[in-house]
A and B are shown apart, each in its own frame.
Chain A
Amino acid sequence: MSQLLLDVNGLTMRFGGLVAVNGVNLKVKNRQIVSVIGPNGAGKTTVFNCLSGFYIPTEGSVMLKSEQIAGLKDYQISRKGLVRTFQHVRLFQKMTVIENMLVAQHRHLNTNLFSGLLKTPNYRRLEKDAMEHAAHWLKEVGLLEYANREAGNLAYGQQRRLEIARCMVTQPELLMLDEPAAGLNPNETKELDELIIKLRDEHEISILLIEHDMSLVMGISDHIYVIAQGTPLANGTAEQIKGNPDVIKAYLGEE
């Protein structure tokens, strides 16, 4: 009964003569956690860049809610409900935590310049709503007490969580996380694990994940796609992937 949210078919990306991604298919249903794994340089991030509009795929179709999004600009795609994070943290380091959250809601605060200068009642009400929405998400990721800190002064794990919260206030339907656990300690990884599951179960969004931490991936994924050298290698549930000889060969090499 769950519907298809993202449907990628035959995605191919060439840079001159180099084929970085070759015929990748992906399906993400509503309320699903889907992971993309593969050895370094397999083309996982290139897939993400194609889906989020940083690259225009050479071939293939990307359907979000049965609508073609391949070829749209990155901000157009994010407005359609597909929002991503990056391998490295891209917060507004010199702004406070709450300001980071408010910038992400800029578009929803659709007021004109003069109402901002004059602080009209409508402007105040919208700002108050945005503030409450931001506070709600900061609480969800456990950062409410740091609301007035500069984002750059937070610990690394907190910065990672703030990035997720900042994505969430834009009200996405599909959240794409590029190696969210990179650089986190085991404790922080566990918190991240719980957060991702909560996003799916309580907030009813889907998550597409690139991750190297196998225990995280195997523990939370509803479905896993394996890519090696830009080509799809296998897909299935965690159990199926763990036992797949091709996957083991790609990761560990042949004897």
Chain B
Amino acid sequence: MSEFSLYLLQQLINGLTIGSTYALIAIGYTMVYGIIGMINFAHGEIYMIGSYVTFIVIAGLLGMGMVSLPIILIIALVVAMFIASTYGWTVERVAYRPLRGSNRLIPLISAIGMSIFLQNFVVLSQGSRDVALPPQVTGGWSFGDPSLYEVSLSYMQVMIFVITIISMTLLTLFISRSRMGRACRACSEDIGMTNLLGVDTNKIIALTFIVGAALAAIAGLLLGLYYGVVNPFVGFIAGLKAFTAAVLGGIGSIPGAMLGGLILGVTEAMTSAFFPSEYKDVVSFGLLVLILLFRPSGLLGKPEVEKV
């Protein structure tokens, strides 16, 4: 392979790495939108909290003298998912449920408020500076021609791919096969009718928030370990990117969120391959504008049909 194509391959790997974490976060936006038609702007903060919990748990376990990395990571993952889900559930219960049925704009404002609240809560309790964790998952493979360009694929990147694929598969099975997943799909088509048929739709909405938050926590763990630093403000930009991914793929559609995340990640990586990396946000949000202009319902979204 030529030097150029090896370079592109490297960017593709980097793009897919970031893209799969965008996709994990985007699912939370898309599921909530699909069911109650609301953008949960506090979702990025849930991801940030997932990162913080991961760091605290890992540092704590290392401090206690635990050495087995897989066990540490599994404990961190479980704790982060549990705590993030608790936050997700609480946000829904406190800030959104009492406002359900009011004008669409009101829960949106509440969501922005919740986002600011959580961000400042973390600033107050954890400090506003970067928190760093030494790399835990180290090493990797490299291939290609050492005299031209060496492509590296780190174990961390492989871990991101594997965990993302497992999570997506489990989610897809849950939505398509389980009784709760069936009720989720029914709610996203016609929540009023689902309610009339005796399904406790409040429970289904709460479940949506819990599942979305758990996936965001997985992304929090993965990206936190990948970058090695976290601060209380990472949730904002990551949330914005994931939201873009959800809109790109067609908001309300779960496969759309997965696809949108990957496309966004790869676009960013390819942009920073050829232009100064400051341009990557310009290009990714430019892409969003183009999609919205020419295909407003997103890549996999269904065109909006006016409900009578």
Contacts and interface: CB of A to CB of B under 8 A. Distances in A.
Q: Do A and B bind each other?
A: yes
B197 A117 contact: no
Interface residues on A, range: 20 to 34
A6 to B, nearest CB: 18
Nearest to B204: A106
Interface in A76-134: 78-79, 83-84, 88, 90, 92-95, 99, 102-104, 106-107, 109, 111, 113, 116-117, 127
B274 to A, nearest CB: 41
A93 B183 CA distance: 14
Interface of A: 74-75, 78-79, 83-84, 88, 90, 92-95, 99, 102-104, 106-107, 109, 111, 113, 116-117, 127, 166, 170
Contacts of A95: 182, 185-186, 189
Interface string B145-156: 000000000000
A103 B183 contact: yes
Chain B binding surface, main DSSP class:
helix
Interface in B170-222: 174, 178-180, 182-183, 185-186, 189-190, 192-200, 207
B200 A116 contact: no
Contacts of B186: 92, 95, 99, 103
A84 B207 CA distance: 27
A106 B178 CA distance: 11
Contact of B190 (A78, A90, A102, A111): A90
Contacts of A104: 197-198
Interface centre among B185, B198, B200 (most CB of A within 10 A): B198
Interface residues on B, range: 20 to 34
Contact of B198 (A78, A88, A93, A102): A78
Nearest to B176: A99
Interface centre among B182, B195, B207 (most CB of A within 10 A): B182
Nearest to A104: B197
Given A92-B189, A103-B183, A75 B178 contact: no
Nearest to B196: A78
B189 A106 contact: no
Nearest to B181: A116
Contact of B193 (A90, A94, A116): A90
A231 to B, nearest CB: 28
B293 interface: no
A154 to B, nearest CB: 15
A99 B185 CA distance: 10
Contact of B197 (A78, A88, A99, A109): A78
B199 A99 contact: no
B196 A106 contact: no
Contacts of B195: 74-75
B308 interface: yes
Contacts of B190: 90, 92
Contacts of B192: 74
Nearest to A94: B189
B95 to A, nearest CB: 23
5 contacts: A74-B192, A75-B196, A95-B182, A99-B185, A102-B182
Given A74-B195, A92-B190, A170-B197, A103 B308 contact: no
A47 B46 CA distance: 46
Contacts of B197: 78, 103-104, 106, 166, 170
Given A90-B190, A92-B185, A95-B189, A74 B179 contact: no
Given A78-B197, A78-B198, A106 B179 contact: yes
A88 B308 contact: yes
A37 B178 CA distance: 43
Contact of A99 (B182, B198, B207, B308): B182
A95 B200 CA distance: 19
B185 A117 contact: no
Q: Which 5 A-B pairs have the closest CB atoms?
A: A107-B198, A103-B186, A104-B197, A106-B199, A92-B189
Contact of B179 (A78, A83, A88, A102): A102
B42 to A, nearest CB: 23
B183 A106 contact: yes
Nearest to A106: B199
Contacts of A78: 196-198
B185 A94 contact: yes
Contacts of B207: 113
Nearest to B197: A104
B196 A111 contact: no
Given A104-B198, A106-B179, 6 more contacts: A74-B192, A75-B196, A103-B186, A103-B194, A106-B199, A109-B179
A57 to B, nearest CB: 18
A44 B189 CA distance: 27
